[in-house]
Chains A and B, each alone.
Chain A
Amino acid sequence: MKHFIFFFTFLFVFSACQQNDMVDPTLEQPTKINYSTKNAPFNQKVAKKAEEIAESYDGVPKAISVNTDRKLLLAFQLDHMKRFQLKQKEKTIEKKLKKSFRDYDVTVSSDMKIYWETEKLINKLENLDKREMNKKVENIIQLSREET
């Protein structure tokens, strides 16, 4: 009896691993977050362009970005199996963005918290004025630099 239980547990665990190999058509194209930035205090063209650049990299399914007049903040998610190259990817994207947007102070982060905070900020962009937005972006950048 015990052997059966362990055999089935074994089977269950390893069949769960196999499941990932099946291609789910909904996962092929990551769902793009739709948000309106028409009435944002700063024009978000730069941020949109930065998102496109980041998403063009292999293993980056989602990127989210916001910009003020001087600062550009980009947060991205990385495929699980590519996480070994996390720091390297972060550096490459940051370098590319710094090169593309020389007038901006670029911050790139792969941290989940930064991603959530940026997403939250983008969702309420239209209700903010320039001063508030500057403050919020600065807060997120500070958070991304925290080490302890």
Chain B
Amino acid sequence: MSKIQASMAGNLWKIVVQEGDQVESGQDVVILESMKMEIPIAAETSGTVKKLLKAEGDFVDEGEDLMELE
């Protein structure tokens, strides 16, 4: 199991995958909104989205876990 973390502090603007989805390494899974920019966060490994740990609209700090992959 691996976790996807926020690369910087910001607002969780969009989650583009759902629990149970298969994702590939390098695929964007969420988009943060920070410093007025859209910040795509990509999965570092391939796997299945096991659990979303944050909801759209949440503030997330740098290094915070966003979702679990399996």
Asked if chains A and B come from one complex, the reply is no
Residues of B within 8 A of A (CB): none
Residues of A within 8 A of B (CB): none
